[in-house]
Amino acid sequence: MTTRRSRTVLAAVAALAVVGLAACGGEESAGSRPGSATSGITGDVTVFAAASLTESFTQLGKDFEAANPGTTVTYSFAGSSALATQINQGAPADVFASAAPANMKTVTDAGNGDGTPTIFVKNQLVIAVPRGNPAGIGGLADLTEPEVKVALCAAQVPCGAAARKALDAAGVRLTPVTLEQDVKAALAKVKLGEVDAALVYRTDAKSAAADVDGVEFPESAGAINEYPIIVLKDAPHKPAAKAFVDYVLSDPGRAVLTAAGFGAP
Amino acid sequence: MPRLDTTVARPRPAAPRQRPRRAGRIPLALLLPAVLGLLFLILPLAGLLARAPWATLPQRLTEPGVLTALRLSLLTATLATLLCLALGVPLAWLLARIEFPGRRIVRALVTVPLVLPPVVGGVALLLVFGRRGLLGSWLDSTFGVTLPFTTTGVVLAEAFVAMPFLVIAVEGALRGADSRYEEAAATLGANRWTTFTHVTLPLVAPGIAAGGVLCWARALGEFGATITFAGNFPGRTQTMPLAVYLALETDLEAAIVLSLVLLAVSVAILATLRDRWISAP
């Protein structure tokens, strides 16, 4: 009899827990504040963007907010593959900007994209070296010297896949000391002086110009990364999301991206 | 804490065994949050189990990277725990038994790695032990030793994050232990070292074991400080949590399998140790 009672209590508790969790999962309508927007577009656009877009998209977001009063842009910057996983697991994002078509494909294949993705920029790799290039690195072949410590991105993230492609194209075999989880982590190892070189995007080297020089190398032409962008199917704020993507593709948007070192698609 | 020194040291009578209460008597105000808490802790585990790719599990387990990462994880977590025991137990003793100025501040400083996000801990370690770091540059120029990107670096990162768990557990055990035994040993002519090894250590052994287990578990799960300080290279610095993180980049199911392996192995080891060492009184 005692067990029966405790069983009832347990059931009640479980039911409560489920109700509580369901309540937590409710859609938030935060951000859609009544604004007197000239464009008529309001709301909080949540953009999941590749780590390499951090600087340029932060700037773009500010410009977009200024052009569309009543909107706010919130970012989640991370490795494209992590973002793709989060989106496919139901993260409440409006826009996805990926550093590689493969990660975009993960999202569109799962039916989470609205329409087809648009390539909005291209990026290519450079060798990031500490400022002044103390080790005198001139090309990929110099990275194989035994005393040169090199950081690459892990093969699972776009910058790592591109690095592998470029190294293969050049016929260079090198053993890195570390395979970093994203391009910013690889760059940080150069900034801190823990490695002598890292393969990062040109835009990343440019954003860290105070500490880092970017050495261009010809084989990077064979490993150009295309960045696709898309509005997501379940975007909580679709009109604002569409307006944001349009802004990225517009002339002012393109100017910001070009200034950051991206190439036109 | 304050003890009456006038009372004669004598072993306290064993606490009377509590009879297991009948279920009906458990107050709802305790049972409800307890069950909710339990659900909160075990539901994510159920989520892992539900999504595990059971059909391809054997094939995935035999992939070469899995065993390498598992072996490295167990090795580094164990070495980190030994390092924490060697340094942490004396530190806990110092904090619990010796009055010195600034003891409160030292006690607070010990918990810094607990509140520090592990990634920040990793950066801090780089700034000290890195090739350009305060101590690291000296190590490099004098001995030619660099710690980042090595297995030693993994052990250091794990020990940094896990040591507070040991120190806090052992200090708590020391402060809860009856210091009259130590005083008795001292009256009988034992010096502080003998007292420590022959009286204090056996007295707080369960506390040390519990602290060691906590420390080992934390070291095993360490991610942020490790990937920041020691980098990620298979066989050298890629522990299981790092492998899980990178698997997550491309293959959710692989990440789940790796997580389950880590979970199963650690639970098995902890259960075995618990039975052997921490027998319930």
Tens of pLDDT, residue by residue over B15-71, are 555 555 555 688 889 999 999 999 999 998 898 899 888 888 888 888 878 889 999
pLDDT at residue A169 is higher than 70? yes
Q: Which chain A residues have a beta carbon less than 8 Å from that of B235?
A: none
Does any CB of chain A come closer than 8 Å to the CB of residue B28?
yes
Amino acid occupying residue B39: L
The fold adopted by the segment(s) B61-277 is: MetI-like fold (1.10.3720)
> Measured between CB atoms, which of A9, A10, A181 is closest to B245?
A181
Among A164, A177, A189, A190, the strongest candidate for a mutation testing the B interface, having the largest count of B CBs within 10 A, is A177
Tell me the average pLDDT of chain A.
85
User: The whole model's pTM is what?
Assistant: 0.76
Tell me the average pLDDT of chain B.
87
* A-B C-beta contacts closer than 8 Å: 85
Q: Where are the domains of chain A?
A: 43-122+227-259, 125-222
Among B134, B227, B232, the strongest candidate for a mutation testing the A interface, having the largest count of A CBs within 10 A, is B232
CA angle A188, A194, A198 (to 5 degrees): 60
CB B146 within 8 A of CB B139: yes
Query: What was the pLDDT predicted at A80?
Result: 87
pLDDT at residue A76 is higher than 50? yes
Q: Which chain A residues have a beta carbon less than 8 Å from that of B132?
A: 192-194
Query: What was the pLDDT predicted at B266?
Result: 85
pLDDT at residue A15 is higher than 50? no
Task: Please choose, from the candidates A149, A208, A138, the residue with its C-alpha nearest in 3D space to the C-alpha of residue A176.
Answer: A149
Q: How confident is the model at residue A195 (pLDDT cuts 50, 70, 90)?
A: very high
pLDDT at residue B5 is higher than 60? no
φ/ψ (deg, to 5) at A46: -100, 120
> Measured between CB atoms, which of A6, A17, A193 is closest to B36?
A17
Does any CB of chain A come closer than 8 Å to the CB of residue B181?
no
**In angstroms, what separates the C-alpha of A178 from chain B's closest C-alpha?**
5
Closest chain B residue by Cα to residue A193: B132
pLDDT at residue A2 is higher than 60? no
Domains A43-122+227-259 and A125-222 share a fold: yes
**Which segments of B150-234 does DSSP mark as H helices, in order?**
151-176, 180-187, 192-195, 201-203, 205-221, 224-229
Who has greater pLDDT, B249 or A68? A68
CB B198 within 8 A of CB B185: yes
Q: How confident is the model at residue B265 (pLDDT cuts 50, 70, 90)?
A: confident
Q: How confident is the model at residue B279 (pLDDT cuts 50, 70, 90)?
A: low
> Which of A79-83, B7-11, B95-99 is the least confident region?
B7-11
Three-class SS state of A113: strand
Burial B120-132 (b: 16+ CB within 10 A, else e): ebbbbbbeebbbe
> Which of A71-75, A109-113, B177-181, B225-229 is the least confident region?
B177-181
Residue with tokens 């059971």: B54
Q: How confident is the model at residue A42 (pLDDT cuts 50, 70, 90)?
A: confident
Query: What was the pLDDT predicted at B277?
Result: 63
Q: How confident is the model at residue A191 (pLDDT cuts 50, 70, 90)?
A: very high
Mean pLDDT of B243-267: 86
What CA–CA distance (Å, rounded) separates B151 from B148? 8
Q: Do B233 and A3 touch (CB under 8 A)?
A: no
pLDDT at residue B11 is higher than 50? no
Task: Please choose, from the candidates A125, A146, A126, A124, the residue with its C-alpha nearest in 3D space to the C-alpha of residue A135.
Answer: A146
What CA–CA distance (Å, rounded) separates B142 from B98? 36
Q: Do B36 and A6 touch (CB under 8 A)?
A: no
The fold adopted by the segment(s) A43-122+227-259 is: D-Maltodextrin-Binding Protein; domain 2 (3.40.190)
Three-class SS state of A87: helix
Mean pLDDT of A22-49: 58
The fold adopted by the segment(s) A125-222 is: D-Maltodextrin-Binding Protein; domain 2 (3.40.190)
**In angstroms, what separates the C-alpha of A116 from chain B's closest C-alpha?**
21
> Measured between CB atoms, which of A13, A82, A177 is closest to B231?
A177
Beta bridge partners of A200: A126
What CA–CA distance (Å, rounded) separates A132 from A144? 20
Who has greater pLDDT, A28 or A192? A192
Q: Where are the domains of chain B?
A: 61-277
Among B249, B252, B256, B258, the strongest candidate for a mutation testing the A interface, having the largest count of A CBs within 10 A, is B249
Question: Which residues have CB under 8 Å from A43's CB, separation 6+?
Answer: A31, A32, A70, A71, A72, A237, A239, A240
Summarize pLDDT for B122-144 with one digit per residue, the tens. Answer: 999 999 999 889 999 999 899 98
Q: Which chain A residues have a beta carbon less than 8 Å from that of B35?
A: 9-10, 13-14
